[in-house]
């Protein structure tokens, strides 16, 4: 039995009610995270002309967030596991990415925008691995895949890909894009409060035997054939999504000539279809 499996099986069982509450809150939190992450993409038709950005700079803002996210996912996830304080890491990251939404709304230049997105990726990257480790510790093996799928897919698609373009474009048209980012940062603070009140700290897993370090564990996991295939598929899929989200709103408004509201609904179809399409794979 591996260390990860041992840590899960040694955790005391949680009630069905707590398991459902945990999945719901983590899915909500990840949805709010994607709401904030995708906000700049959907608001780029407003931001780009206002700040005088080039297409290269638009791409760099997306790349900055993705790069820092990828690095933080490993670093923060490992730090949370070592400390045994996953709840504290999760709440801290949630508050931090909300603050980064406020910082994005304060941007008055490309450099400030770039820095805000780089920082947002750094604090958002750890949310997914920490959330999934909390699911693994609380949910029995026979329901763990369903719980992880809902946590990862439902909230992010419903809030981050469906509601985000419609609501944020409306806010930008009515109040301006700066205020839209300020509004986008508020739900994360509410989510952090709910996590603090209702989520329990998972029991710390046992220490690995043999003194194997983090790099050793990572190497052991990554070089399994199924993991390699999944990593390649994930890299290709996420690359497509990042490019699509970064440039599709601009393509629809500047090349196809759609107004921002129509663009927002066209982008929202990606979110609602993904939300509905995820269920056949979960049940």
- pLDDT, tens digit, 9 for 90 and up, residues 173-203: 999 999 999 999 999 999 999 999 999 998 7
pLDDT in tens, 208-222: 554 456 667 777 777
Looking at residue 5, what is its pLDDT?
44
| φ and ψ of 42, to 5 deg | -75, -25
What are the structure tokens assigned to 84, written together?
């045994």
Tell me the C-alpha distance between 229 and 149, whole Å: 19
List all residues 6 or more positions away from 240 whose beta carbon is below 8 Å from its beta carbon.
Answer: none
Burial category of 242 from C-beta neighbours within 10 Å (exposed 0-12, middle 13-18, buried 19 and up): middle
Task: Calculate mean pLDDT across residues 162-170.
Answer: 97
Q: What is the DSSP letter of 209?
A: G
The greatest distance separating any two alpha carbons of the chain, rounded to the nearest whole angstrom, comes to 62
Looking at residue 222, what is its pLDDT?
77
Evaluate if residue 4 carries a pLDDT over 60: no
Q: Which domains does the chain have, with CATH numbers?
A: 3-282 (1.20.1250.20)
Report helix, strand or coil for 175.
helix
Tell me the C-alpha distance between 272 and 268, whole Å: 6
Tell me the C-alpha distance between 41 and 197, whole Å: 32
Q: What is the DSSP letter of 11?
A: S
Tell me the C-alpha distance between 262 and 209, whole Å: 57
Task: Calculate mean pLDDT across residues 254-259.
Answer: 97
pLDDT in tens, 57-111: 999 999 999 999 999 998 998 899 889 899 999 999 999 999 999 999 999 999 9
Tell me the C-alpha distance between 138 and 101, whole Å: 31
Contact predicate 265/166, CB 8 Å: yes
Q: Where are the alpha helices (DSSP H) in 84-176?
A: 86-105, 110-124, 127-138, 141-149, 155, 164-175
Evaluate if residue 3 carries a pLDDT over 50: no
* pLDDT > 70 fraction of the chain, expressed in percent and rounded: 89
- Least confident window among 13-17, 163-167, 209-213: 209-213
Tell me the C-alpha distance between 143 and 85, whole Å: 24
Looking at residue 221, what is its pLDDT?
76
Give the residue among 273, 65, 265 at the shortest CA–CA distance from 168: 265
pLDDT in tens, 129-148: 999 999 999 999 888 988 99
Tell me the C-alpha distance between 152 and 263, whole Å: 25
Looking at residue 282, what is its pLDDT?
52
Tell me the C-alpha distance between 100 and 97, whole Å: 5
Looking at residue 206, what is its pLDDT?
52
Contact predicate 168/34, CB 8 Å: no
Looking at residue 224, what is its pLDDT?
84
Give the best-scoring range by mean pLDDT among 148-152, 222-226, 251-255. 251-255
Looking at residue 276, what is its pLDDT?
83
């Amino acid at each position: 039995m591996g260390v990860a499996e041992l840590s899960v099986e040694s955790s005391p069982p949680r009630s069905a009610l707590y398991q459902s509450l945990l999945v719901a809150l983590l899915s909500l939190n990840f949805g709010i995270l994607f709401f904030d992450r995708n906000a700049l993409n959907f608001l780029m038709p407003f931001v780009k002309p206002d700040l005088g950005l080039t297409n290269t700079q638009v791409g760099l803002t997306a790349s900055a967030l993705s790069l820092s996210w990828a690095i933080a996912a490993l670093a923060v996830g490992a730090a949370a596991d070592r400390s045994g304080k996953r709840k504290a890491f999760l709440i801290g990251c949630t508050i931090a990415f909300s603050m980064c939404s406020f910082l994005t709304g304060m941007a008055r230049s490309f450099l400030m925008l770039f820095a805000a997105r780089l920082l947002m990726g750094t604090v958002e990257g750890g949310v997914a691995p920490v959330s999934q480790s909390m699911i693994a510790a609380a949910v029995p093996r026979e329901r763990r895949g369903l719980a992880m799928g809902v946590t990862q897919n439902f909230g992010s698609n419903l809030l981050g890909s469906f509601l985000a373009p419609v609501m944020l474009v409306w806010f930008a048209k009515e109040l301006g894009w700066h205020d839209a980012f300020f509004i986008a940062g508020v739900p994360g603070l509410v989510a952090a409060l709910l996590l603090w009140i209702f989520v329990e700290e998972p029991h710390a897993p046992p220490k690995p035997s043999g003194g194997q370090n983090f790099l050793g564990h990572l190497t052991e996991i990554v070089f399994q054939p199924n993991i390699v295939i999944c990593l390649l598929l994930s890299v290709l899929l996420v690359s497509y999504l990042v490019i699509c989200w970064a440039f599709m709103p601009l393509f629809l408004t500047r090349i196809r000539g759609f107004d921002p509201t129509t663009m927002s609904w066209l982008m929202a179809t990606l979110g609602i279809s993904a939300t509905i399409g995820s269920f056949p794979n979960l049940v």
